[in-house]
Copies of this chain bind each other. A is one copy, B any other.
Amino acid sequence: MQAMTHVGSVSQTRAVALAAKEAQPTLAVAPGALRRAGLRAAAVAVRAAREAILAANRADLERAEGLTSAQRDRLRLDEPRIEVMAAGIEAVASQPDVVGRVVDGWVLDNGLRVSRVRVPLGVVGVIYENRPNVTADAAALAIASGNAILLRGSSQALASNRAIREAFVAGLAEEGLDPALVGFVEDTSREGAIEFMQLEGVLDVLVPRGGPGLIQAVREHATVPVIIDGDGNCHVYVDRAADLDMAAAIVVNAKLQRPGVCNAAETLLVHAEVAEAFLPLVAARLVGCELRGDERTQALIEGVVPASEEDYAREFLDTILAVRVVDSLEEAIAHIRRFSSGHSEAIVTEDLRAARQFVAGVDAAAVLVNASTRFVDGGELGFGAEIGISTQKLHWRGPMGAEALTSVKLVIEGDGHVRS
């Protein structure tokens, strides 16, 4: 534990966590107008601090070694990206308030009045990799939903994240909101990550955003409740009743509009009855995309690489698409059930019964009919931003906006009711 920064006898991690926990109850009962004013001030402050943020980012980039060009690009900030970040905070601030929303309510036979009301989770933790924009998005969603947040980014983005957080909390402070609500963890070591995952009694939820190594570490070491933002091995199934032009447009969009993200398609399943017409059509439009197919696919398109079992299980995050011809909708569903990571699964069909069967039979965070998997995103679905995309089934599934950071409190009102 040598890498840990200490404040007195407790680590800096624990100190900021305790300060966040201490500050949160005041925010929980603050009016929504105050939370929104704080966010708008944070957006203004982030814009105003762009020089400092860019300088910190340059320092991070100079320090960074051994990054691929994609990783460098993810880490890099510029003025337009800072503007996107600030606008994102404003988008979150403009969402309807989730705190205090009554989910459900009823009156028992004995006259007790029961309601279920949305309340903040408390203290949210996020562990993330080289994407400085997560700092602003996650903090904005947490404050919007009445939560405190602890940010634990990567060592490579440390200065950038710190500068964004500084600006953000300066904005909050202008509206009288406590900077401790957005705690910044300085310790980016592996030991520090494990300490963070074990802040029992302080962290109400941990959202890890990162690769399989991080997820595995969380599964092994976390002792606080976790929402897993896992892989997206997403499928598009082209049914025999599909409009083939529509299907080709959806497949191309789902695979190529941004291949490196979790809601991009990784496998194309095609009903045998339309494979002969569809596969050459879509292959011609999948420019620059490597296809890995089963034997029937290989027979219909030139230059297809034979697909292994592993290809169907993998998230390529690249311009590679696995392809398989299936004899029925049932076979498509069975394939998806076997290989899906529970993220986003799409069917293209004009057949109502097929659509209904697919929607019911496929178990994933999102099931789409005649739409690209790329829409499974907090911003696209109208949440303003997202703190992650849950691929687990507990608590929240799919893109997580402010509502995903709330719990539900039972409020029970009586007139002196006692149990007999």
Q: Which residues of chain A have a CB within 8 Å of any CB of chain B?
A: 25, 28-29, 106, 108, 112, 114, 119, 121-122, 200, 204-205, 219-220, 223, 225-228, 243, 246, 249-250, 252-254, 257, 337, 355, 359-361, 363-372, 374-376, 380-382, 392-398, 407-420
Provide the bound-state CA to CA distance between A7 and B168, in Å. Answer: 57
Given the interface pairs A112-B375, A205-B393, the reply to whether A411 lies near B367 with Cβ below 8 Å is yes
Identify the interface centre among A106, A250, A396, A418: most chain B CB within 10 Å of its CB.
Answer: A418
Most B-side CB within 10 Å, residue of A121, A371, A381, A420: A371
Contacts A381-B114, A393-B204; A249 near B418 (Cβ below 8 A): yes
Known A375-B417, A417-B375; contact A225-B392, beta-carbon cutoff 8 A: yes
Q: Which of B106, B395, B415, B419 contacts A382 (CB 8 A)?
A: B106
- Given A25-B363, A225-B392, A394-B395, A371 contacting B410 (CB threshold 8 A): no
13 pairs of residues in contact across A and B, judged by CB atoms under 8 Å? A114-B381, A205-B394, A227-B394, A249-B416, A249-B418, A250-B416, A257-B418, A363-B409, A367-B409, A369-B412, A370-B413, A371-B413, A376-B410
Which residues of B sit under 8 angstroms from A25, Cβ to Cβ? 337, 361, 363
Considering only CB atoms, which chain B residue lies closest to A223 in the complex? B219
The residues of B that contact A219 with a CB separation of less than 8 Å are 200, 223
Tell me which residues across on chain B come within 8 A of A355, comparing CB atoms. 413
Q: Is the CB of A417 within 8 A of B372?
A: yes
Q: Is the CB of B407 within 8 A of A397?
A: yes
CA distance A21 to B200 in the complex (A): 31
A381 with B108: CB separation less than 8 A: yes
* Closest B residue, CB atoms, query A220: B223
Kindly identify which residue among B370, B410, B415 contacts A398, using a CB–CB cutoff of 8 Å.
Answer: B410
B257/A393 in contact, CB under 8 A: no
Residues of chain B lying within 8 A (CB to CB) of residue A411? 359, 366-369
**Are B368 and A413 within 8 A (Cβ)?**
yes
Q: Are A410 and B397 in contact (CB under 8 A)?
A: yes
